[in-house]
Structure formats: structure tokens, C-alpha cells
Amino acid sequence: GALVYQYPRRTICKSGTSMRMECQAVGFQATSVAWYRQSPQKTFELIALSTVNSAIKYEQNFTQEKFPISHPNLSFSSMTVLNAYLEDRGLYLCGALRGGDTEVFFGKGTRLTVV
Amino acid sequence: GDSVTQMQGQVTLSEDDFLFINCTYSTTWYPTLFWYVQYPGEGPQLLLKVTTANNKGISRGFEATYDKGTTSFHLQKASVQESDSAVYYCVLGTTSGGNYKPTFGKGTSLVVHP
């Protein structure tokens, strides 16, 4: 089956510091990876969509300078939250897609707490 | 741009009640429509999807019809169980310029009491 692992599952960082989260696809080739942030109200915000060998496309209100993403191969992606502040709190979800497919396989998320 | 409007907030039902969650969408492209379900502590997972207008998707007793005329994709289940308690997301998938993008609705939390 297609599985997506995210780590760490939870992390706490001090305001103004940075933290990196990782996403691993197992059992399939993740041609594209979508990074989302889920608010406490359960709303999803798409941060960016990354496709191997293509430019990473960031959504409005999210920038590479704040959320740099790496997608070096078909099984791994990482995203860093730089200079994290309270408004960056939430559950960060990685969704991976197989080439030509439309179903997104999600990990369980990395919960970021900023203190 | 693409958008999904979904009945928000919480729906509280008793076991064997009928479930209806409203979802409408807006796009200039030809979409694939999905319902995802998220259980506590888990990431969202696919419940059902429909790629062709006027077709119905069915899974685990849930069903939704891709109605191009009303641009809707409402989720229904005839008889809910306590195990159906979760957050349900209506999702619009579109491809533009060779790039595929899934757009999530705001989610509807379902609580089913025994």
C-alpha cells in the first residue's frame, strides 16, 4: 500500500527559531508533494505544491523565504518553518501524489507549537 | 480561482440517523471531486471520488453525486454509526497548465452518539 510518514509528530520551538519537518513516501513514487497547514478549527491551507524536477509553487500568503521546501527525490520531502511565531502554530500535513494520479496520500502530520 | 464551499461546523446525530453534508464548488476547469475523512490523530484519507459529471461515488455506505448542473457534490449516508464520527472534507481537484492542485473545503465535523 501507499504510506506517508511524517516526523517529528510533535515539536515545540521558541518564538523566532526555526524547525524542519520531514515527509517520507513508502510503497509508491511521490511525484508531487503538497504541504498543508491545518488550523485548530480544522481548516486546511495549502502552503505549496512541489513536483520533482519542477519549480515549487507557493500559494498566496506563503513564501519560499518563510517555508523553504526540498523535494530531492521521489520518496522524500522536507519543509522548514523559519523564524516561527505564534501564528505559525498548527498541524502541518504532507500529502503525496503519484504521477498521473489524483488521490493524495497524507501523513499524520507534524504538530508545531511555538512558545 | 477554484473554491469549495462546504457546510461548516459540527453535525451531531444519533446512530441510524440520515447524514447529509452540503458541498458546492466553483472552477473553470474540469474537476475531479473527492470526499476525504479525517479521524482523530490521523491524516485525511480518501473516502470516495468521482471524475465524471453525473456519476455517483459510493464507499462504506457513503455516497455523493457529481452534479455539474448545480456544481454540487453533497455527501449522504442512510444510516450513520458511532464509528463514522470524524471530520469530512469536500475536495476539488483541478489541473491547470499541467499542474494538479487539490483544494479543500473547510471541513464538517460529524459526531454520532450511540
For residue A13, pLDDT beyond 90: yes
Q: For residue B104, what pLDDT is reported?
A: 92
In this complex, the residue of A34, A57, A103 whose CB is nearest that of residue B46 is A103
Q: For residue A93, what pLDDT is reported?
A: 96
Please tell me which residue, A25 or B98, carries the higher pLDDT value.
A25
What would the DSSP string read from start to end of chain B? --EEEE--SEEEEETT--EEE-EEEE-SS--EEEEEEE-TTS--EEEEEE-STT-EEEETTEEEE-BTTTTB--EEESS--GGG-EEEEEEEEEEETTEEEEEE---EEEEEE-
Q: For residue B74, what pLDDT is reported?
A: 97
Give the residue among A49, A104, A99 at the shortest CA–CA distance from B38. Answer: A104
Instruction: Give chain B's mean pLDDT.
Output: 93
Is the Cβ pair B43, A51 closer than 8 Å?
Answer: no
Q: For residue A2, what pLDDT is reported?
A: 86
Give the residue among A46, A100, A102, A44 at the shortest CA–CA distance from B32. Answer: A102
Q: Which residues of B touch A34 (CB under 8 A)?
A: 101-102
Q: Which residues of B touch A107 (CB under 8 A)?
A: 43
Question: CA-CA distance, A75 to A87, in Å (whole number)?
Answer: 30
Q: Which residues of B touch A108 (CB under 8 A)?
A: 41-43
C-alpha cell at B62: 457513503
**Interface check A78 vs B, CB under 8 A:** no
Q: For residue A55, what pLDDT is reported?
A: 86
Q: Which residues of B touch A51 (CB under 8 A)?
A: 99
Q: Which residue numbers of B have CB closer than 8 Å to A's CBs?
A: 32, 34, 36, 38, 41-46, 49, 51, 87, 89, 93, 99-104, 106-107, 109
Q: For residue B96, what pLDDT is reported?
A: 79
Is the Cβ pair A42, B32 closer than 8 Å?
Answer: no
Whether A56 contacts A49, CB under 8 Å: yes
For A43-90, what is each residue's pLDDT tens digit? 889 999 998 888 899 999 999 999 999 999 999 999 999 999 999 999
For A83-111, what is each residue's pLDDT tens digit? 999 999 999 999 999 887 889 999 999 99
For B31-66, what is each residue's pLDDT tens digit? 999 999 999 999 999 999 999 888 999 999 999 999
Whether A25 contacts A74, CB under 8 Å: yes
State which of A52-56, B6-10, B51-55, B88-92 shows the largest mean pLDDT.
B88-92
Q: A88's torsion region: left (phi>0), alpha (psi -120 to 50) or beta?
A: alpha
CA distances from A9 to A34, A81, B111, B113 (A): 17, 15, 25, 30
